[in-house]
Structure 1
Amino acid sequence: MKEISVVLAGIGGYGNKYVEHILREGKEKGVRIAGAVDPFPQNSRFYEELRSLNVPMYSSLEEFYLHHTADLAIVSSPIHYHCEQTCLAVKNGSHVLCEKPAAATVKEVKRMIECRDRYKKIVAIGYQWSYNPAVLRLKEDILSGKFGRPVLFKTIVLWPRDTAYYRRNSWAGRMKVNGRWVLDSVAGNATAHFLHNMLFLLGERMESSAYPDSIVAELYRANNIESFDTCALKMMVKDTPVLFFATHAVKERMGPVFEYRFEKARVLCNYSEYPESEESLLVVYNDGKKEVYGPTDHGSMRKLWVAVEVARGKEEFICTLESAMAHTIAINGAHISMREIQNFPDEMKRVEGNPPLIWVEGLKEAMEEAYRKEKIFSELGLPWARRGEEVKLENFEGLEGEITC
């Protein structure tokens, strides 16, 4: 088995997971850490262990490549560095596993595609559901026509996040940092997997996602942040309505709950009336027959070991930049649809706990009603709701701004 050398760009935050799995399983899987890149490496839970193993540490990826090479670069740095570091890695001969989202803007993703093709390297994006065996088997059956034509896809995610969540780094909840787009939000980051998964399953080939043709967005915030912590998105994707509801500004955690409706069946996850759907993909056919496809396993690190095998020269299924760009198009389109994010009325906001959680009275019920009735908030006639403009996304170039990669 060929040993694979790995450079880790970002070892704090989510990057801790990559460090942990490689330290625990890397030896048996033939993986060696060639270096770690982080301006604040001491913030990693594994800093002392990495030091004891004499892993070289650098504050920039450029500095690492001045002294070393790596078969694979794992980019789990802040969103506004994804494009720059991915391009730098492929230029220096590394394949790349880049965390989701691929980048903040459509133009950045296209720049990453150009670099990948020019230097003939492979770039995988870490939407872990696109590596999930149950999801992939489901997509094969969707493409075979087993369930008939897609009719409507919808997802709801209620994931409370307190104020410490937005203080954990310098870019949480930000639109830009030092002039670079970040677009960190409930839909752009924390629940991005579930938005991307709908677009991925609507793709016309196994490796592709469907790009939305149009979007209407409603974007709101309860927290004191630049971006949004609550959204309702209404898209048309290949003649299929796609609805996405997500928030951090509630007390109760729920989801992801979703229904992918087809002519002959429904694909369900986390529906209380179907215990088999708990953290699992369940197909319920129109005649009442049920089929369990398997667990969703949101914490899976299968993407890591797939990327290692790709670096080893094996052909493995990955989430490509082109597939990941479907999510970036949706998020860029949402920000154009509602350029001015709406603040929830003060009289609706509540604060409790330590650290404080800011939540919105009645929001959980409004989101559940919107999901059930398949309408966005403004279509329910809620007094605080404001509808964004419809944005056509054909040949969409996304948000404007300087490309720094």
Structure 2
Amino acid sequence: MFGKDIGMKRIKTVALSGIGGYGMIYGTAFLEECEKRGLEFTGCIDPYAEKCSYINQLRDKNIPIYESMEDFYKEQEADLMCIATPIHLHESQTLYALQHGSHVLCEKPLCATMDEAHRMLDAQNGSSLQVAIGYQYSFNPGIQAIKADIMKGRYGQPLLFKDITLGPRDSIYYQRGWAGRIKAGDNYVYDSVANNACAHYLHNLFYLAGKTMNTSALPTSHETELYRANKIENFDTITTRIQTDCGIPLYFAASHAIDRLQQPYFELEFENAVIKCNMVTRKVEIFAGGKNYEGSLAPDPKEREKIWAVIETINSGKPVACGIETAMSHTRFINMIQSEVEIRNFEEGRILKKQKQNPSSVITYVDGLYDRLQTCFEKAVLLSESEG
């Protein structure tokens, strides 16, 4: 719900906070496409802008660069502020942008804590502006089509939605100041495999289980196991069974402590059908009525579709597919497990190291974990319930 009418301010100008890392997706998109889309790129915000790989392109286009939001808003305006900064900055920067009249597209996850989430929601509801959260699959036309069919009951009663995502992360990944941390300074960040790299895929389960096109199912209870192999504060491996307010059970398995990649993959089980999807190849298979149907999600090689979808939706005066309340299901679940589940260390004797070509890059992984998690996914069981 919004405190005032939404869509009153159309987007003609855009800006970006956080130009490195994932922010490069936004920055290069604006450099390449703003002009032909009738948008003005009014500036960037990053205290470490000199490290940005495309800073010369920004300078060539005369895009102003500022060290802080305060400096930016003293000189510039933005109808849409895109935020691609670390998790613990999402709340404060979203609130500041709203206070200065900007719609917001904030990268996932929404924030670290539910208190932050509620403050963000209150700030949005006190304005005529919208905040979109960049869970990219909520904006994908193929995912939206699957969700619409689920809502219509096309496949019968949902029985179980599950996802597995296994992606190695090396020692360089964990050298970032807040990587794998529960807190960054005095602020919670809850950085983990479930709240950062694989957050898109976990949230997608909540989104697909939601009762309307722009809501997600809320977690009500869970059985969760958290593990770590890397020398980090938080966890790098999770298996979980989740009960939701919609009555659809979810299962999720993810790990960075493995030696090879399992592309993000989900299965949706119904009374009368099974839907399978590889989130990288975008291939979708639907098994129903003894027949196999194949299709694909819309391609998005540069991961930009959510940017233009948000702008188009806000300009049309409609609510975005994934706003604050839609994203809160994921944050709520993260807060539940971080406060309720003890993180276990994998046995030292099973933890191995793999040197990559870069001498500074070492992958820490658990012997046999990849295969065990595959079995866990197939049976929807926790790691302790599997053999090995």
Q: Same fold (TM over 0.5)?
A: yes
Partner of 1:111: 119
Distance 1:170 1:36 in 2: 22
Note if 1:176 corresponds to 2:179.
Answer: no
Note if 1:363 corresponds to 2:369.
Answer: yes
Distance 1:148 1:179 in 2: 48
From 116, 126, 130, give the equivalent of 1:122.
Answer: 130
Distance 2:161 2:11 in 1: 42
What's the CA shift for 1:173?
Answer: 1.1
What's the CA shift for 1:378?
Answer: 2.0
The SS at the match of 1:111 is: helix
Q: Deviations over 1:104-147 (max 9, x none)?
A: 11121111110011022011110110111110111111000101
Partner of 1:350: 352
Distance 1:106 1:299 in 2: 31
Matches within 5 A, 1:323-338: 323-338=326-341
What's the CA shift for 1:91?
Answer: 0.8
TM-score normalised per structure 1 = 0.88
Preserved contact between residue 82 and residue 103 of structure 1 (Cα < 8 Å):
yes
What's the CA shift for 1:314?
Answer: 4.6
Preserved contact between residue 129 and residue 296 of structure 1 (Cα < 8 Å):
no
User: What letter corresponds to residue 229 of structure 1 in structure 2?
Assistant: D
TM-score normalised per structure 2 = 0.92
Note if 1:377 corresponds to 2:383.
Answer: yes
The SS at the match of 2:36 is: coil
The count of aligned residue pairs is: 374
What's the CA shift for 1:293?
Answer: 5.0
Distance 2:213 2:164 in 1: 25
Partner of 1:205: 212
Partner of 1:20: 28
Q: Deviations over 1:123-174 (max 9, x none)?
A: 111011011111011111100010111101111111111111111x321111
From 286, 292, 301, give the equivalent of 2:295.
Answer: 292
Distance 1:163 1:121 in 2: 40
Distance 1:290 1:212 in 2: 31
User: What letter corresponds to residue 341 of structure 1 in structure 2?
Assistant: I
**Seq. identity, %:** 39
Partner of 1:403: none
Distance 2:315 2:215 in 1: 23
From 90, 94, 104, give the equivalent of 1:82.
Answer: 90
From 253, 260, 264, give the equivalent of 1:252.
Answer: 260
Question: Relative to 1, partners in 2 of residues 1:17 and 1:374: Cα closer, same or farther, differing over 3 Å?
Answer: same
Note if 1:162 corresponds to 2:177.
Answer: no
Note if 1:307 corresponds to 2:313.
Answer: no
Distance 2:151 2:200 in 1: 20
Distance 1:349 1:156 in 2: 21
From 274, 286, 303, give the equivalent of 1:283.
Answer: 286
Q: CA RMSD in A?
A: 1.9
The SS at the match of 1:163 is: coil
What's the CA shift for 1:226?
Answer: 1.1
User: What letter corresponds to residue 285 of structure 1 in structure 2?
Assistant: A
Q: Which moved more, 1:237-246 or 1:179-188?
A: 237-246
Preserved contact between residue 125 and residue 318 of structure 1 (Cα < 8 Å):
no
Distance 2:211 2:171 in 1: 41
